[in-house]
Amino acid sequence: FWKKTDIYREQPDVSFKHQMVLVLETESPDQLIFWSTYEQLNQLMDHKFLQISLQLNIEKKIITKMEKR
């Protein structure tokens, strides 16, 4: 007998590169709010750029992942 079907599973390698784009829509379509970690993109969207500072707490995320197991 020949095998007619087979299953192959693969786990992707996913890692966070600490890069992101944030686009917020407002009631007016021409007044969107924009922020990203890409300097060139921020310069391009300068008129809509939101100046904020982000801090990443990696420790908290690791603890949360461990608690879920």
Distance (Å, whole) CA 24 – CA 45: 13
| Single pTM value for the model | 0.45
Q: What is the mean pLDDT of residues 44-66?
A: 62
Task: Report the 3 state secondary structure along 10-51.
Answer: CCCCCCCCCCCEEEECCCCCCCCEEEECCHHHHHHCHHHECC
Strand partners, 35: 22
Q: What is the pLDDT of residues 18-37, one digit of tens each?
A: 788 888 888 887 777 888 88
Grade residue 52 by pLDDT with cuts at 50, 70 and 90. low
Residue 21 is predicted with a pLDDT of 86
**CB 45 within 8 Å of CB 35:** no
Give residue 24's identity as a one-letter amino acid code.
L
